[in-house]
Structure 1
Amino acid sequence: MEPRSVFNETFFIVTRGKSRKGFCRGCIGRVEAEMKRGEFMGLLYGGSSNPGSPKNGGLVRKEDMYPLTRHQAQLLLFVSSASKRLELLCNPQLFSAICDLAQDDLVVVKHKNGHLPGLVKNLMQIGRKENKDDLYMLGFEVEFVDNDHNLSSKKPAPLSLFSAADIIQVVSSYSVPLGLQWRDGRCGGLNRRVVMRNSCMANIGSRAQPVTENHIEQSLIQNQSVSTVPFEVGSMVEVVSNSGITVYGVIRWLGIPGEKTGEWAGIELDYEVKGCSDGTYGGQRYFTCTKSRALFVPITKCSPDSRFLSAFTGEETLKATETPAVPPYEDPDEDVPPIPESEALSLLVGKMKGIQGHINSCYLDATLFSLFSSSVTLDGICQKPADTEQPITCTLRAIVNRLRRQGFVPAESVMNFRKLLGCDTFRTEEKDPEEFITVLFQKVLCIEPLLKLRSKRETSQGAYTFQIFLEKEQIGQIPTVQQLLDTSCLSGDLKFETMPSCLIVQMPRFGNKYKMFSHIIPSLELDITDLLYNSLRECFVCGRLAEYECLQCLPDRKLQPGRIKQYCTTCNTQVHNHPSRQDHSPSALAVPAGVASDTPVPRHTMQLFAVLCIQTSHYVSFVKYGSDPQSWLFFDSMSDRCGNDQSGYNIPEVRACPELGDFLCQPEEELSRANPSQAPELVRRLLCDSYMFLYQSSATLI
């Protein structure tokens, strides 16, 4: 796409990149001139005296900016917080609806410590305009409904002014929107804050009348054609009133109430409506919900919820918009490298960051973020996957590239990927991360197993993850990952045939239903030297070349329990002369002929780069994004939600977590004595809820 074709509108918002010459993420500007090398000279809006007048700005790269219409720029300019501007911009459904708001549209706004419904009455111009390049700030005057959530018939209270970021939901009240208009004007006084109202906007349209149960069919239902949609309990529907106001809800009951004929639906509405019940009709209870939110109507009066048509078409993607507000993304031909440590915080931290969750996708969101946001090793493994032109491979690449370039992946992208996985359960159900990882590497990336495990019987098998199996009595109450891995390998007579570049260790637990240990201490460095097949090993006691290994010495508290015990010939004899060890049966190690007993043994280590955790069926992840001990991030693809469970969207969040680095930097002896209940919140969450530990070879990090 040619640069000039992108910038038909001269206004823009900075969506990524570091601050440079006055511009930073979330700033709004106007293009002055196109420079060389894909850079633009821009002017900056947002000064304290008159935010609508452009000030000196600087150079902005094409890939760091997203074009805006004048209307969009003026709406975002009234949002004082840069992070809230970007958060709103990353929600295409909501921002598009806000840009198209009409008078008397029903909205839900943030008000004090809660959310309130109200009607949009006026589009307000805030500020002054001294020349054609100036911008007004645009806000909305909203008339609240009364305490019963019904349109008030009392003397109207002064209207409250809200920015676009204060609106969390839009419900169009009319099938033919009445456009919001305004007139240009100018007021005197250099420092005077000016708010102008278009007088022709006020009080057009009729108010809805109070609703009672006795008139529910007449006042909330208009004549509609018979619906052909096969509704069921759980379907999201809408019902249009005679006055044109649409109410939305979820079907909680289907049947024939009382003396009625034909099938009816009991709907739990998104908001309370005066005259509705708590799930009763005609004195009989059919379901239970909050007071004034149960509506009973003939099923023929219901229509699919137009805000989420995908729920009725079998598509799990969010409803598309004609004018997406998320910055457009063009997948480059080359793979984008992992996010460097210096840019991770500015690009990733905040709400609407990371990967947006949708329909039980947290297992996949957390896994993808852990594997691909910062890991260098995985890039080497996946550098040349097979079938690179296959749709599913291209979709995965686009997700990874978008995460690394923009710091945010919308839910549509991940839902498309889930659909391409080819299994219906991947599309709608929550899966275990290990199942997804196997499918990801084996079917999507066509990569050989990450691990080659050899048993004592000389049989070799491949695996993508390593499952810990052991008896609880074999180890202490709060083990480290190193102790768990060592014990599990020795108990099962397993060795790594080759040094893995990536090792994913699954803890001894079954989802959120069972876990063997209440807390597990992460090992920042995993030493697998003693777990390599036919690798030289050093004596546990004297450090010389080891020739014997003893599984029964593993839990011995006098010999540092949990650590693998291998001995030279001399130390093996001395250790097993002890009365408590005379019944042990040490096994001989394979030592190549001609190797001197004092030969140095190189250590083979792996570094922790991510941890997957699960609590109450919800997966989150911790990711190490750099070499600094404090360079840790916490990611939750469903940290918050806008709207209720049946509608709305999830808000992903990435948080910096330096306290985890502070905790893990303590000596192992102190960690073993630490009280997890007194640790910081996120640290405690990792210790209690860890499910998978992801390691990469130290050799790949050099």
Structure 2
Amino acid sequence: MEPRPLLKEKFFIVVRGKSRKGFSRGCIGRVEAELQHGELMGLMYCGGSNAGSPKSGGIVKREDTYHLTRHQAQLLLFVSPASKRLELLCNPQLFSAICELSQDDLVVVKHKKGHLPGLVKNLMQIGRKENKDDLQMLGFEVEFVDNDNKLSSKKPAPLPLFSAADIVQVVPSHSVPFGLHWKEGQYGSLNRKAVTRINSMPSIGSRARQLRGGHTEHSVIQSLTEERTSSNTHVPLEVGSLVEVMSNSGITVYGVVQWLGIPERKTEEWAGIELDYEVKGCSDGTYGGQRYFTCSGSRALFVPVTKCSPDGRFVCSSTGREPSKPPDMPPVPPFEDLEEDAPPIPESEALSLLVGRMKGIQGHINSCYLDATLFSLFGSSLTLDNICSKPEDKEQPITCTLRKIVNRLRRQGFVPAESVMNFRKQLGCDTFRTEEKDPEEFITVLFQKVLHMEPLLKLRSRQETCQGAYTFQIFLEKEQMGQMPTVQQLLDTSCLSGDLKFEEMPSCLMVQMPRFGNNYKMFSHIIPSTELDITDLLYNSPRECFLCGSLAEYECLQCLSDRQLQPGRIKQYCSTCNTQVHTHHSRQGHSPKALSVPADAASDPPVPRHMMQLFAVLCIQTSHYVSFVKYGPDPHSWLFFDSMADRCGDDQHGYNIPEIRACPELGDFLSQPEEELTWANMSQAPELVRRLLCDSYMLLYQNPAMPLTQPNHQES
């Protein structure tokens, strides 16, 4: 295998694939040679003060990398941890704009006080450059701007330094009226070790200078006004519309319309907008002493409708003019929202309605965690028929938006990205709107704040306190399990180790696997149990003796892994069997615990088994969530859903293509006995089956006798 030397330098970031010889996801490298079979030999840039000097090498597949320019590589090298680099790459429009930032461009950055607007003043080189081939990390010095169009700093002071990942919004330079003059300040050196200043920012992308060269101040402002006025004459706004408004300081702010009408002492129609983040001078939904809607403090902005424009960040916009897009973008079918909720999709109609490209929920801006969760809950056999049963709930904007998403999915089989983006904005939290979140965070907000449902789980800890939860996190020591455990074994061991019991049989049980973040997994493979037996995990419920079948009175955690007693199964005994089992010399050190036995329990009962059925699995790989969903009772009725399976068009004007695939091979695999699955040759399993076993994040189970059709509402 002879390497082919490269004529010019090439930089890359590893975006997927397993770690191989030093390279892992998020690492930045430089190509040294191209090998056969599509492999690259490269040097990796490590962290620390000498981050720009490659310290180690390795081999990586070309298909697992993403090409970077030197400038992009240096910007990403300053981003830490490595997972944030991948998150930034998932937003190509934002990253492209960051790469083209020029001096005095307006940006919005994450700060300890929240999100703050500021001016980019300098591009900073961080670290030493010992060789000409080394990289230097790049960061931005940003000067904050207050709402009076003045610099917030009153005396010379070092400017804060931000990485590319700290920038959440780039404001186009031509959106700033040129009549607005920013106060210039002189600043000394940052006096940081191994930090130097670049005297001039890159000129590429400086749209302000391009405009100054060909337009006067008056003509630029006039053209912007005419453009916004003409665009708004035919743009119908409604509650839930995504809009942008230019503030008095010249910064474009974004939000969702929460109220439309004519305020007191006004003669024209105004819009009440909930902004993406807090802005000084805004309210919590009040205007002129009267409340029109409710939101977090300093986020409600009231402006005339004529000042609003459609949010230009989204491709699919039914509320205004659409940005340019590929000519072959399929049209979104019109949707008539009927008053009654659509029932779950029948098994006989699921394949014809759902399978194919541009099916399911279209992903946009890190939305895969939400797309996969919504499809698992509402595209499956779980019967969440009545989304909201209280009349007042149906008048809430966020509830109406959720109803439209579910009804559209069940009636048309496709939900455009804008519908989900509306919903994310209405959730009322900055991070739900633009950032990747964990499904368990979204599930808690969905059931508690949107559906107003009481906790799905009631867990009794140490037989004393009872607490509610919406999901169940597996906690255990790796040594307690084999190399390829089943979900049943994980749940049993976790409950016994933490001395937890279910107060009552849950209607829905969402079990989160023992993995944390995007990379760490306690087990390389986990066997999904198609049924969960909850009988022995219920508090104050009769249980059978593991050996003789009589009424159990004791349970023993130490016996759980005993190889002579069917390892992995919960061991509970009657009084006689408990004495006999623990007279064995290998078990004399065990500490069996007495069970709470109901006073009216028969001594030799036929104890009924309480079972839950698997209906969906959320999986994660390289920060990307997908889901497997069971759409009917047949063992082969499985679907695989990816909200961002493909993309059409370029990064700026393209759109994601969601895809749903039938996955009957998963039914074939899971129909085998669990003891055979643990010894199966995983390398020969079908692709989607391997993905399920390796990447499972959360498994969703339902109680067939207690469907979630009539939720218990909390008092709101």
Q: Where does residue 464 of structure 1 map in the other structure?
A: 470
Q: Distance in 1 between matches of 2:389 and 2:627?
A: 24
Partner SS, residue 365 of structure 1: helix
Deviation at 1:490, TM superposition (A): 0.5
| Root-mean-square deviation over aligned CA pairs | 3.3
Q: Where does residue 625 of structure 2 map in the other structure?
A: 619
The counterpart of 2:582, out of the listed 576, 591, 599, is 576
Counterpart of 1:318 in structure 2: which amino acid? Answer: V
Counterpart of 1:693 in structure 2: which amino acid? Answer: L
Whose Rg is larger?
1
Q: Distance in 1 between matches of 2:338 and 2:209?
A: 48
The counterpart of 1:666, out of the listed 672, 675, 692, is 672
Q: Where does residue 253 of structure 1 map in the other structure?
A: 100
Q: Distance in 2 between matches of 1:264 and 1:648?
A: 31
Deviation at 1:376, TM superposition (A): 3.3
Partner SS, residue 699 of structure 1: coil
Q: Where does residue 96 of structure 1 map in the other structure?
A: none
Q: Distance in 2 between matches of 1:253 and 1:323?
A: 26
The counterpart of 1:605, out of the listed 598, 611, 622, is 611
Q: Distance in 1 between matches of 2:390 and 2:423?
A: 19
Q: Where does residue 527 of structure 1 map in the other structure?
A: 533
Deviation at 1:643, TM superposition (A): 2.0
Q: 1:656 to 1:684 in 2, by over 3 A?
A: same
The counterpart of 2:522, out of the listed 495, 516, 521, is 516
1:300 and 2:200 are equivalent in the alignment: no
1:320 and 2:317 are equivalent in the alignment: yes
Counterpart of 2:315 in structure 1: which amino acid? Answer: L
Q: 1:251 to 1:474 in 2, by over 3 A?
A: closer
The answer (yes or no) to whether the contact 1:498–1:533 under 8 Å persists in 2 is yes
Partner SS, residue 583 of structure 2: coil
Q: Distance in 1 between matches of 2:654 and 2:571?
A: 56
Partner SS, residue 559 of structure 1: coil
Q: Distance in 2 between matches of 1:637 and 1:692?
A: 17
Q: Distance in 2 between matches of 1:615 and 1:586?
A: 41
Q: Where does residue 398 of structure 1 map in the other structure?
A: 404
Deviation at 1:380, TM superposition (A): 6.1
1:45-84 equivalence runs, <5 A:
none
Q: Distance in 2 between matches of 1:668 and 1:582?
A: 31
Q: Distance in 2 between matches of 1:302 and 1:537?
A: 78
Q: Distance in 1 between matches of 2:578 and 2:343?
A: 49
Q: Distance in 2 between matches of 1:435 and 1:677?
A: 34
Q: Where does residue 440 of structure 1 map in the other structure?
A: 446
Q: Distance in 2 between matches of 1:297 and 1:511?
A: 35
For structure 2, the 5+ residue unaligned runs are 1-90, 104-119, 124-163, 165-201, 212-223, 232-241, 246-251, 255-310, 323-330, 709-716
What is the TM-score of this pair, normalised by structure 2?
A: 0.56
Q: 1:621 to 1:469 in 2, by over 3 A?
A: same
Deviation at 1:301, TM superposition (A): 5.8
Q: Distance in 2 between matches of 1:687 and 1:587?
A: 34
Deviation at 1:302, TM superposition (A): 5.7
Deviation at 1:250, TM superposition (A): 4.7
Counterpart of 1:388 in structure 2: which amino acid? Answer: K
Q: 1:375 to 1:511 in 2, by over 3 A?
A: farther
The answer (yes or no) to whether the contact 2:356–2:661 under 8 Å persists in 1 is yes
Counterpart of 2:526 in structure 1: which amino acid? Answer: I
**Runs of 4 or more off by more than 4 Å in structure 1?**
234-237, 263-266, 301-313, 321-324, 380-386
Q: Where does residue 683 of structure 2 map in the other structure?
A: 677
The answer (yes or no) to whether the contact 2:636–2:663 under 8 Å persists in 1 is yes
Q: Distance in 2 between matches of 1:385 and 1:455?
A: 36
Q: Distance in 1 between matches of 2:464 and 2:680?
A: 41
Deviation at 1:382, TM superposition (A): 5.3
Q: Where does residue 418 of structure 1 map in the other structure?
A: 424
Aligned identity (percent) is 76
Partner SS, residue 705 of structure 2: helix
The counterpart of 1:338, out of the listed 323, 334, 344, is 344
Deviation at 1:339, TM superposition (A): 0.5
Q: Where does residue 12 of structure 1 map in the other structure?
A: none
Q: Where does residue 691 of structure 1 map in the other structure?
A: 697
Partner SS, residue 673 of structure 1: coil
For structure 1, the 5+ residue unaligned runs are 1-233, 238-248, 257-262, 267-286, 288-293
Counterpart of 1:591 in structure 2: which amino acid? Answer: V
1:212-227 equivalence runs, <5 A:
none
Q: Where does residue 128 of structure 1 map in the other structure?
A: none
Partner SS, residue 591 of structure 1: coil
Deviation at 1:344, TM superposition (A): 0.4
Q: Distance in 2 between matches of 1:488 and 1:620?
A: 26
What is the TM-score of this pair, normalised by structure 1?
A: 0.57
Partner SS, residue 678 of structure 2: helix
1:453 and 2:459 are equivalent in the alignment: yes
Q: 1:342 to 1:553 in 2, by over 3 A?
A: same
Partner SS, residue 611 of structure 1: strand
Q: 1:560 to 1:570 in 2, by over 3 A?
A: same
Counterpart of 1:459 in structure 2: which amino acid? Answer: T
Deviation at 1:583, TM superposition (A): 1.1
